Amino acid sequence: MLLSDRVLFLDGEALVIDKPAGLPVDAPRDGSLSLENHLDLLKFGFKRWPLPVHRLDRDTSGCLLLARNPKAHGRFTRAFESREVEKQYLAIVDGVPDADGGTIDLPLAKVSTAETGWRMVGDPKGKPSVSHWEKLAVVGERSLLRFRPETGRTHQLRVHALEGLGFPLVGDPVYGRGGTKTRTLLHAERLVVKRDVKPSIIAEAPFPDAFVALGFAAPEGAEPTRG
């Protein structure tokens, strides 16, 4: 797997890759491979490694923004913090919502126990978390949804799907129903970052093969499936 073959956007200060599912952004404690092991091939003529601006879960595929210099990293980080970044995700859930779309406004908080470890839960006293969603397709008892999160809380879409819609993401080992061999079916489909002088960063990741394997087709206007 060469991440240099998965570049969606590249200029003097920004790089967006289509992160494959299964590759963690941060180095795992067990010493297994992570994004860091691939950064040398993503320099593209620069002396320094590009730095990830945000995080995607290990299982989540799709658009991941990296900055090619420290000043750009600071600007992009502030853009994420001030909610100036347009993020769009595709997900397959274990169920069929009655509505065709809506908004989930569910604050999230972290809970932890010695037995089960930590997870995020809906909590009125938690951090504000808002996600807009629409239903794109239904195959059997599963649905393809598009999420547009306003905020970027840890596990936000996974918990909003479960507690806000009543249906977990297919394959989710923490919030899901178990019994499936697939990965968590969440994909960062599109990323837009506006810039003051330069044109906006716009990246779209191809529709994942894992979604096709469950009978879903790329939505109209989406990038074709990655072969």
Active-site annotation, residues? 57
Other Cβ atoms less than 10 A from the Cβ of 115: the count is: 4
Residues 157, 154: Cα–Cα separation, whole Å: 9
Residues 42 and 4 sit within 8 Å (Cβ to Cβ): yes
Q: Is 78 exposed, middle or buried (0-12, 13-18, 19+ CB in 10 A)?
A: exposed
Residues 212, 225 contacting (CB under 8 angstroms): yes
Which backbone phi and psi does 126 adopt, to 5 degrees? -80, -175
